[in-house]
Amino acid sequence: MKTFLRTLLSLALIVWLGAEIFFPIVAAITFMTLQPDTHLAGSIVGHLLRILHGMGLVSGMVALGLLAIMPTLGVYKPRPVLLPMVLVVLMMAFTAYSQFGILPAMERDRIAAGGAIDAAPPTNPNRMDFDRLHKRSEHVEELILLLGIATVALVAHAETTRA
C-alpha cells in the first residue's frame, strides 16, 4: 500500500511537471509549423495551455491529498511533507492565477485589438497589455516548474526520513 501511494504521488508530479517541461516545445513547434498564421497558432497554444492548467490542478489536488494522508498511514513523517504541501498549494495558486486571471485578460485584449493581436500596431494599448500579460504568463509557468522541481526534491528528502 505504501509503495502504491508513493507511486501515485510520483505520477501526479510527473504528469504536471512533464507537461510543464514539454509545453514550450509543443508551442514552439506549433508556431514554426503555422508561422504564416500566428493567430491560429496562438489559438491552438492557448487551448493547449488551458488543458495543461486543468491537468496541473487535478494533479495538484491528487498530490496534495496524498501528501496529507501519507503521514497518517505511516508512509512519511509529518514534518518533512509540510513544505512540499505548501509548494504544491503555491503551484496550484499560480496555475489558477494564470488560468482564471491572465488568460482571460489576454483574450479580452486580443478581442479589443480586433481579433488578431499581430494585426494591431505595436503601439496599440491592447497589444501592449497583451504582450505584458504574455510575458507574465511565461514567468508564472517558469515559477510553477521551479516550484515543482523543488517539490520533487523535498519529496525525495521525505523518502530518506520515512516513518
- Answer yes or no: are the C-beta atoms of 39 and 117 closer than 8 Å: yes
- In 3D space, the residue among 148, 139, 143 whose CA is nearest the CA of residue 14 turns out to be 148
Dist. CA 45–CA 73, nearest whole Å: 41
Burial of 32 (0-12, 13-18, 19+ CB in 10 A): exposed
Q: Is a pLDDT exceeding 90 seen at residue 38?
A: no
- Answer yes or no: are the C-beta atoms of 158 and 77 closer than 8 Å: yes
Residue with the bigger pLDDT between 150 and 162: it is: 150
Q: Is a pLDDT exceeding 80 seen at residue 163?
A: no
CA atoms within 13 A on the CB side of 47: 7
Q: Is a pLDDT exceeding 70 seen at residue 18?
A: yes
Radius of gyration of the chain (CA): 19
What domain range is 13 assigned to?
A: 2-160
Q: Is a pLDDT exceeding 90 seen at residue 145?
A: yes
Does this model's pTM top 0.95? My answer is no
pLDDT tens digit sequence for 49-99: 999 999 999 999 999 999 999 999 988 888 999 999 999 999 999 999 999
**Total tally of structural domains belonging to the chain:** 1
Residue 162: the pLDDT is 58
